Amino acid sequence: MWVDSHCHLDAPEFDADRDEVVSRARAAGVSQIVIPAVGAFDFEAARDLAHAHGFAYALGIHPLYVMKARDEDLATLARLLERHREDPRLVAVGEIGLDFFVPGLDADRQELFYTEQLRLAQRFELPVILHVRRSADQLLRGLRRTVVRGGIAHAFNGSRQQADTFIALGFKLGFGGTLTYERSLQIRRLAAELPADSLVLETDAPDIPPHWLYATAEQRAAGQAQGRNEPAELPRIAQSLAHLRGWTLEATAACTRANTLAALPRLAALMRT
């Protein structure tokens, strides 16, 4: 059984065939999916999808959405975390974090939302799912100030030193479609060399397509559509990790599943149902 630790199943890209996407995932052996919200506008959608399909969800405000978020969205998040605190499918606060790659984002506003959401995770004793893009050191600084119950550094792309620091703070590191590109030397090196108990698998669907779904700018200009990523791709993505580690697929599934359950402890009960 595979666990997709990060999939935006609520994204509009899945509106036309969401049930079929779920069916393909299950046929591929993906038995559990974590659906992280990205803003107050989809808090209930993420929760409803998790309950409808037997999956898990997280509630949070993504750094790419903080410019459109209202200050009162933090109060809304706090209220829903309180209301649903006994919901076994609520497994984390997320997706939260910092993004210093995309231009035009207000760094101070990102920091405000990140800090306040870490405090909420601490208050409700939940792990966090972190967005890490050119922001690892700043995220780690926040985690030292506000200690939380670990979680997952999603789509990790930092240095080995940064990876080791996240791990020391109780985090697992998420790897997905980028693993499948031979030119992703740093990420593939980390996936090969980091401690086995620090790795989790994800798709970030519909984003971060593996190499077999990717269309170059030239191909897109010629009319070829970019392939949509979906959770059914996870076992094939896992083959890249298995190759890098010298593992069987069965061992890869068992290890990454155990690591995801360790990062998001409420998942364990869901996996038994």
- Identify any residues that bridge with 172 across adjacent strands, giving them in sequence order: 152
User: What distance in Å separates the CA atoms of residue 49 and residue 9, rounded to the nearest whole number?
Assistant: 8
Q: What's the one-letter identity of residue 76?
A: T
Residue positions forming the annotated binding site for a divalent metal cation:
6, 8, 95, 131, 154, 204
CA 143 to chain centre: 17
Would you state the structure tokens that stand for residue 160, as one six-digit string?
């080995």
Q: Could you tell me which of 126, 110, 214 has the C-alpha nearest to residue 170?
A: 126
CA 194 to chain centre: 18
* Terminal-residue alpha carbon distance, the chain: 13
The answer to whether 187 and 212 have CB atoms below 8 angstroms apart is: no
Residue positions forming the annotated binding site:
6, 8, 95, 131, 154, 204
Tell me the H-state helices in the chain.
18-27, 43-53, 72-83, 107-123, 136-145, 160-168, 185-193, 217-221, 234-245, 249-263, 267-272
The answer to whether 209 and 228 have CB atoms below 8 angstroms apart is: yes
- Identify any residues that bridge with 129 across adjacent strands, giving them in sequence order: 94, 152
Phi, psi of 197 (to 5 degrees): -80, 10
